Structure 1
Amino acid sequence: MKADEVLEGLVKGQDELKEEIPEQMKKFKDFSKSVMKDGALSKKQKKLIALGAALAKRCDYCIVKNLNEAIELEASKEEILEAASVVMLLDGGPGVAYSTFLLEKYNELTE
C-alpha cells in the first residue's frame, strides 16, 4: 500500500471512531496536542521520538503518519534515518526490517 493510501485509511478510520466514541477520541486528540507541542523538546524532536516508537511498535499507520508529520516539520532524511538507527540498535533485525519500510515510505512521500 502506498503512503498516501495508508494516510487516507488512517483518516477514514479515525473519522469513524470519532462518530462511534466522540468523547474518547476528543480526549485522545487533546492529550496528543498537549504532549506534542513545543516544550523542553521541539515539536520536531518529539515527532522523531514518536517515529522511533512507531518503528519499535511495528505500527504501519503510526510509522507513515509520524513520518509524514516529521517531513512537514522539516526533519531531514538524515535526522529521520538517525532516529531509525537508534531503533535498529535496540530492536535488532525487526528494527532494520521496519526501517526499510520507513525508507520506502519516505521516498514515496518526498518524490
Structure 2
Amino acid sequence: MSWTDKNAEMRDQLRVMNRAIPEVAKGFGALSKAAKDAQVLDVKTLEFVALGIAIADRCEACIGFHVEALAKAGGTRAELGDVLGMAVQMGGGPSLMYAAKALTAWDDLTAEK
C-alpha cells in the first residue's frame, strides 16, 4: 500500500472516530492548531520536530502525515536525512526502522528521490 493510500485510510478512520467522540476531536484539533501557529519557529521546523517524535514513538500514521506536511512546508530530502539521523541517534535500532519508513514515505509522497 502506498503512503498516499495509508494517509487516506487513516484520514477515513479518523473521520469515523471524530464522529464518535466529537468533543475530544474538537479539543485535539484546537491543540494541534495552537501548536502549529508558530510564535518563533516556522512550520517546516515544527514539522521536523513532529516527525522526529513520530519516529521515536514509532507512530507510522504520524510519520505519513508529518512527511506529507513537511513536503508541503518546503522541506527537502537532504534536510529530512539530517532529521532521520538525529532520530536514529536518539532512539537507536527501533528508530532506525521507523526512519527507513519515513524516507520511504518521503519518496512515495514527493517527486524528489
Deviation per CA, 1:38-80: give whole Å up to 9, x if none: 2111111111000000000111100010000000001111111
TM-score of the superposition, structure 1-length normalised?
A: 0.95
Gaps of at least 5 residues in structure 2 are none
| Rounded Cα–Cα distance in structure 1 between residues aligned with 2:25 and 2:84 | 29
| Rounded Cα–Cα distance in structure 2 between residues aligned with 1:44 and 1:106 | 14
Gaps of at least 5 residues in structure 1 are none
Partner amino acid for 1:62? C
CA RMSD between the two structures: 1.0
The sequence identity of aligned pairs, in percent, is 24
Partner amino acid for 1:95? S
Count how many residue pairs are aligned between Structure 1 and Structure 2: 111
Name the residue aligned to 1:11. 11
Secondary structure, in 3 states, of the residue corresponding to 1:40? coil
Name the residue aligned to 1:110. 110
Query: What aligned pairs does 1:1-111 form with structure 2 within 5 A after superposition?
Result: 1-111=1-111
TM-score of the superposition, structure 2-length normalised?
A: 0.93
